[in-house]
Amino acid sequence: DPTLLLSDDEIENRALCLVEDLLLQQRKSLKDFPNMPIPIAINEDENSLIAEELNYNKELLAEFVI
């Protein structure tokens, strides 16, 4: 979605989730690697309303911050 704006933390978390999914297919986990960050679980199917609510134009809203 070209209108989706994510923070650096959100991008990192989504990347970590993808890596975790790949590792789980090999019966591994990011938990197996010391000092690796663990992603915050994202289940977009169950949280589609939350994801939709969070998909707002942060740059546009920042213009209104005093």
Task: Decide if 3 is inside a domain.
Answer: no
Task: Decide if 15 is inside a domain.
Answer: yes
pLDDT of residue 50: 65
pLDDT of residue 45: 53
pLDDT of residue 23: 92
Domain that holds residue 46: 8-62
What are the residues whose beta carbons fall under 8 Å from the beta carbon of 32, sequence distance 6 or more? 23
pLDDT of residue 64: 82
Q: Are 39 and 17 in contact (CB under 8 A)?
A: yes
Per-residue pLDDT reduced to its tens digit, 1-59: 677 788 898 889 989 989 988 999 999 999 999 999 998 876 555 565 666 667 777 77
Helices and strands in the chain, H and E counts: 3, 0
Domain tally, the chain = 1
User: Around 53, how many Cα atoms within 13 Å sit in the side-chain half-sphere?
Assistant: 4
